[in-house]
Each structure stands twice: as C-alpha cells, then as structure tokens.
Amino acid sequence: MEWLAAASEDPGACKQEWQNGSTGVALLAAGRFWDVLIVPEALGLRVADLLEELPLLDRGPCLLDTRRRTVGFLLPPEPQTVWIGTGVRLLGAGTWIATPAPHCRWGALRWLVPPDGTGTLNMPEVLEMALQRCASELSRTQGHPAPAACATGGRVRP
C-alpha cells in the first residue's frame, strides 16, 4: 500500500480513503513512479492472461475498469515514448488515475494484478509484443480490424 500511495499528493489521506473512505478510490499522479497504458477491455484482458502464462515473468500491476471497458498496465515512466493504436492511451506526467486499494480484486474498478509493494512494473517490450500478438488474435477470431493497431511498431521513440 505504501508504494502505491506514494504517488498521491497526500499519501496518508490516500491510504485513509482506501481503508475507510466512502468510495475506496484515490486519485494518483501518473508519470512520476509509473505511466499507465490504457487499452480496450477485450484486448487488455487477453494480454493480462497471456502475461500470466509466461514463465519467469514478474508481472506488473494491471487495473480493470469495467465501467469504461478498459484495462490499464503500469509501466516505467518514459516521457519520450509514444504508444500507437486504436483505443490506446498513455497516461504520463500531468495526468491522474483513479485507483482502488491495492488489495481490491472486486467491483467495477479493480486490480487484475495488484501492486506487489516492491515497485515491479510491466516491461514495455514484453507488453508491446503481447499487445501485438493479442490484437492479431482478436482480429482473426472476431473478423474485423484489431482493436489495437500495432503494425506501426506499437511504441515509437521520437
């Protein structure tokens, strides 16, 4: 809880909201300790499953928002990186994300992979390959263009 709350302007108030607040959700700043790659729900769920299947991989935090139908993957902050794809957004410096308590695994906003407290994040290169593979799979099985177009390379460093 300490590691995640450190991204808050007021870590004490953040932890208080998670433990006893009316919503159990706190706003945390992206771009300092981590960025968040937001992808469409169908793609994100498949990617999360694929990452779970990879041996010897320490998975980073992954957040499901069923109301917005998105999945967010926490990764190292890389201010010069641009992710390209349909429905793909990168939240970095100057943006905020609503987060439930790290132990929250239920509800409309919940952790698919909770933060482990050590600072483990998703590896961008692994996430990029998983997004490309799963986007291609979804394209084949659903019979229409992939929800995330990774053909341009996914991540681009200007």
Distance CA 89, CA 66 (A): 17
Q: What is the pLDDT, as a whole number, of residue 141?
A: 79
User: For residue range 27-63, what is the model confidence (pLDDT) as tens digits?
Assistant: 999 999 999 999 999 999 999 999 999 877 889 999 9
Q: Is the pLDDT of residue 107 over 50?
A: yes
Distance CA 55, CA 63 (A): 21
Inter-helix orientation angle 41-53/124-142, to 10°: 120
Angle (nearest 5°) at CA 74 between 37 and 53: 95
More confident residue, 37 or 147: 37
Contact 78, 33 (CB under 8 A): no
Distance CA 64, CA 12 (A): 24
Structure confidence at residue 25 as a pLDDT band (50, 70, 90)? very high
Q: Is the pLDDT of residue 92 over 60?
A: yes
State whether residue 104 is helix, strand or coil. coil
**DSSP bridge pairs for 61:** none
Structure confidence at residue 90 as a pLDDT band (50, 70, 90)? very high
Q: What is the pLDDT, as a whole number, of residue 145?
A: 55
Q: What is the pLDDT, as a whole number, of residue 153?
A: 39
Contact 145, 80 (CB under 8 A): no
Structure confidence at residue 23 as a pLDDT band (50, 70, 90)? confident
Distance CA 148, CA 107 (A): 26
Q: What is the pLDDT, as a whole number, of residue 148?
A: 47
Reported pTM:
0.87
